[in-house]
Structure 1
Amino acid sequence: MKVIRSKEFTATRAWGALDIANMHGTTVRLHWTDQPYKWHVNDGEEVFAVLDGVVEMHYRELGIEHVAVLSAGDVFFAGIGCEHVAHPLGEARVLVIEREGSV
């Protein structure tokens, strides 16, 4: 049993993570960041839920870049092959659920 107070979590570096669970190869991690990530495509599907802060999620469809502004409570689903990058506006805490070892 775990209780995690996401607003209390910080990391020593951008995108530092607290491992919450590994469920048969699917990881659940809480990330803290104040810096953009990098453009990437995951090794499977990804669920990205903003718990605190605001994140601009940039993603490409058919070579065209789009931006979705995500606030606390918003969820972004990256399907297989979805190229994306998260840009927090200030500090953000994000719950990420994805295949273990994914980028």
Structure 2
Amino acid sequence: MKIIQSRGFTASRAWGALNIASMSGISVRLHWTDAPYEWHVNDGEEVFAVMDGQVRMDFRENGEVRSVLLSSGDIFFATVGTEHVAHPVGEARVLVIEKEGSV
């Protein structure tokens, strides 16, 4: 059993992670960040849940860049092939559930 107080989690670098669980090829990790990630496409589906702070998620849909502002409690689901990039607004803590070893 684990209890994680996500609001208190920090890392030494942007997108540093706390590995929470590995379940049948799926990883669950808590990330802390204060800087954007990079445009990428995951190897599979991804659930991206903002635990604390805000994140502007940019994604490409039909060749067009779109954006959504995610706040605490909001979830972004990236289907296979969704190109996206996360831009935190200040500090943010994000729970990411994805295929192990994904980008």
Q: When the two structures are superposed, what TM-score results if normalisation uses the length of structure 1?
A: 1.00
Give the Cα separation in 2 of the matches to 1:101 and 1:58.
22
**Unmatched runs of 5 consecutive residues or more in structure 2:** none
Provide the residue aligned with 1:69 in structure 2: 69
Q: When the two structures are superposed, what TM-score results if normalisation uses the length of structure 2?
A: 1.00
Give the Cα separation in 2 of the matches to 1:68 and 1:46.
16
Q: Tell me the matched-pair count.
A: 103
Give the Cα separation in 2 of the matches to 1:22 and 1:81.
23
Give the Cα separation in 1 of the matches to 2:54 and 2:33.
11
Give the Cα separation in 2 of the matches to 1:61 and 1:89.
22
- Aligned residues: percent identity? 70
Cα-to-partner distance string for 1:17-70 (whole Å, 9 max, x where unaligned) = 000000011000000000000000000000000000000000001110000000
Provide the residue aligned with 1:6 in structure 2: 6
What's the C-alpha RMSD, in Å, of the aligned pairs? 0.2
Give the Cα separation in 1 of the matches to 2:71 and 2:8.
18
Give the Cα separation in 2 of the matches to 1:8 and 1:90.
15
Structure 2 counterpart SS, 1:53: strand
